Amino acid sequence: MLDVGDDVPDFTLPKAGGEVYNDIGSFTLSAALADGPVVLAFFPAAFTSGCTAEMCTFRDSMHRFDELDAQVYGVSVDLPTAQNVWILREDLNFPMLSDWDHELIHDFGVVLPDMYGEFEAAKRSIFVIDADGRITYRWVEAEGETDFDAVVDSVQEAVADIAAD
């Protein structure tokens, strides 16, 4: 699993922008880092209750990340068209990245091998990446319920630490 201090290999994924169901562009990490820190919030699957709660907590806190010039992206193995429908349904105000071929969850070491005992998905986890492409913060969900407000607070503090450097 990638950890704090590790360099993130550059990658390109489809990006669901959320304007309409087929609003699909391209995201390349190295290009995004030119605009400030990047937050990658991996989640198992769109349309599930826990993932909706997590992403809606980010939605309601986006002003805090905007103030720090940080970009937040949700990441799942869902196809980008499904992510777009979910973005529209939940009024999410940030894009989603589609790791449809599961390469990124393997590269980051955040594989949930048997979601619902049926398929491989992303383990709920968050990484903050600085302009140099280095991980400065990592959170991986442990067993039990998660306080998403507290998690987002910690992520925002990690981004603020980058801005202070």
135-140 sheet: strands from edge to edge: 24-28, 12-16, 96-98, 71-76, 38-42, 125-129, 135-140
φ and ψ at 122, to 5 degrees?
-85, 135
In the set 51, 92, 104, 151, the catalytic residue is 51
51 catalytic? Reply is yes
Q: Which residues pair with 138 in a beta bridge?
A: 127
Which residues are known catalytic residues?
Answer: 51
